[in-house]
Structure 1
Amino acid sequence: MIQSDTVRNTINFVLFQVGWFICVLYPGLSAAGFVVLLVAFHLAFISRHRLAELQFIGAGAVLGGLLDGIWFQTGILDDGTGSVELTPVWLVGIWAIFMTTLSHSLSWISSRAWLPFVCAPVAGPFAYWSASKLGAVELPDLTLSLLALAAGWLVVFPALLYLRKVLYPELAR
């Protein structure tokens, strides 16, 4: 395991960015497989509490995947085919790699109680909008989609941080 918090957080941030771009630029099963490798690297070299963090990553990937599934089913998101029945595996992969940041490179966001409520409704929709500009997803009605994404992130992001604090307190340090 890497000892320096700064180095671990920097690598964590870079791994997330690489994982996000791979998933968005090459959406599919192979991108999700690449994310599995990134998460394995994260657990081996960055995580200090591997089992707890793996459980947290899994919980967040499931919750995020369910939320994205709702957005696909309600027309907030589209993959261009209009026939998504389950959340695409590469999007679940993005949730998994994103979850690694909550105890590392994005842990600072928990430093102020109000910060997640300000950052999430902006940063979350921005990620989907960026993915839409790169062709990975579509936002059929831009305004409605961004507002729905903002509302969803306003709820899910603080909820994930709360889940980490309550169920996995060793990750919140």
Structure 2
Amino acid sequence: MSHIRSRPWRLFTNFALFQAGWLVCVIGTNHLAVLVAVALVVLHLLLVSHRPALELGYIALGTVAGSLLDGLWWQLGILQPATGALDAAWIPLWLVLLWSLFLTTINHSLAWVADHRWLPWLLAPIAGPLAYWSASQLDAVRLQPMSLAFIALGWLLVFPLLIQLRNRWFGALAAGETS
């Protein structure tokens, strides 16, 4: 397999892999969904990433940060398992993998958001809760009445933090998609 050279095709592939992974995870919420999500992250690293090892480090660190946030919501009951979903001590593995999939987009199909200092602060508290609400509509999770407000606040903090983390410690990734 070779790296996709065309920037538009790299961005499209990144977007398509994320969307496919998101859908598989929230519809499946099982071990097969986890395996598919891992395969899609690997495919992203092989086909899209300019610096796979560096990006894998960023994905891993960001996945830990996002999983800690979701874990807080899970432990507090803000996010709850849907009927029949796999039970987890911290959070379900498919939810962890959603963070890994999402982290692949920050350097590629969502890189444009970081070009505007104010945009992550504007989009995060809208787009983050919308994704969780959508997952709840597909019976992946259950939300409590105030869940979306807590999730919006969490995303208001974590999304700009993930961009700052990338810019500060993984700066070569930020510069990679502009070529």
TM-score, normalised with respect to structure 1: 0.96
How far 1:32 moved relative to its partner? Answer: 1.1
How far, CA to CA, are the matches of 1:6 and 1:97 in structure 2? Answer: 19
Is the deviation greater in 150-159 or in 27-36? 27-36
- The answer to whether structure 1 residue 4 and structure 2 residue 6 are counterparts is yes
Match of 2:121 in 1: 117
AA matched with 1:130: S
1:1-173 map, 5 Å: 1-80=3-82, 84-141=88-145, 144-173=146-175
How far, CA to CA, are the matches of 1:41 and 1:84 in structure 2? Answer: 27
How far 1:80 moved relative to its partner? Answer: 3.5
**Structure 2: segments with no counterpart, 5+ residues:** none
How far, CA to CA, are the matches of 1:91 and 1:98 in structure 2? Answer: 11
AA matched with 2:108: H
How far, CA to CA, are the matches of 2:35 and 2:72 in structure 1? Answer: 23
AA matched with 1:128: Y
Percent sequence identity over matched residues? Answer: 46
Point out 4+ residue stretches in structure 1 off by more than 2 angstroms.
80-85
How far, CA to CA, are the matches of 2:100 and 2:49 in structure 1? Answer: 14
How far, CA to CA, are the matches of 1:25 and 1:145 in structure 2? Answer: 20
How far, CA to CA, are the matches of 2:38 and 2:137 in structure 1? Answer: 25
Is the deviation greater in 30-39 or in 122-131? 30-39
How far, CA to CA, are the matches of 1:57 and 1:84 in structure 2? Answer: 22
Give the paired residue count: 171
TM-score, normalised with respect to structure 2: 0.92
Q: Is the 8 A contact 1:73 1:84 kept in 2?
A: no
Q: Is the 8 A contact 2:29 2:140 kept in 1?
A: yes
Q: Any idea what the Cα deviations from partners look like across 1:113-151, whole Å, max 9, x if unmatched?
A: 00000000000000000000000000022xx11110000
How far 1:106 moved relative to its partner? Answer: 0.3
Q: C-alpha root-mean-square deviation of aligned residues, in Å?
A: 1.3
How far 1:85 moved relative to its partner? Answer: 2.6
How far, CA to CA, are the matches of 1:80 and 1:20 in structure 2? Answer: 16
